[in-house]
Amino acid sequence: MAVAARIEPIAEAVHLSIDMQNIFAPGGIWETPWMERVLPLIVEIAARHPARTVFTRFITPVHADDRRGRWRRYFQKWHRATRAELPASELDLVPALRRFAPPAEIIDKPAYSGFHESLLASFLSEKGIGTLVVTGAETDVCVLATVLDAVDLGYRVVLVEDALCSSSDAGHDALMTLYRTRFSEQIELVKTAELPELWPEGA
């Protein structure tokens, strides 16, 4: 494949899947319509690399007042997403992915970025990880925040573009263009079908 020939093989990597939770699934408060479309691709990647998969979960506060600054205002608007009102199961991974953990890791976070006030950075450092193969939701919110933090921390970021989802077509397309044109030395885009050649099982 042309893309596989251009992109270096993937090694010392984890599959970092962002916020594939019930709250973002069909029927959730923050429903992301594309999730059903990308879920089988994320399942495929996790099934090939279960011990090298990390799932993040966006964990909301119990009450809006538990957060500072504009987060408080945000959760006053979205009070139905606070844990005082939200069924706990809404913050779980969707069932199709839950079965991979363990051996996959689940790392919780209180904000958009997977690195913010979480164990992600220390986990990756302890495992000697240099590359993140990123999937999940949403392209233009939590994925964006996580990817930019990963770039700042020096990670090689490989985005699986057909395994990312958003509730905004315009936002998703704009980010794909941004990644290709402004971050080409730090971020690479691939398709799910290209991954087995670039990142074989057991690598």
CATH code of residue 36: 3.40.50.850
- Domain with 55, as residue range(s), is 2-60+90-196
Is it the case that residue 201 has pLDDT exceeding 90? no
For residue range 28-76, list pLDDT tens digits in order: 999 998 899 999 999 999 999 999 999 999 999 999 999 999 999 999 9
Q: Residue 200 above 60 pLDDT?
A: yes
Q: Which amino acid is at 194?
A: E
Return the pLDDT at 60.
98
For residue 135, report the phi and psi dihedrals to the nearest 5 degrees. -135, 175
Q: What is the pLDDT of residue 33?
A: 86
Reading phi first (left if > 0) and then psi (alpha if -120 to 50, else beta), residue 28 is in beta
Q: How many domains does the chain have?
A: 1
Residue 167 forms part of a structural domain: yes
Closest CA to 52 of 11, 91, 22, 19: 11
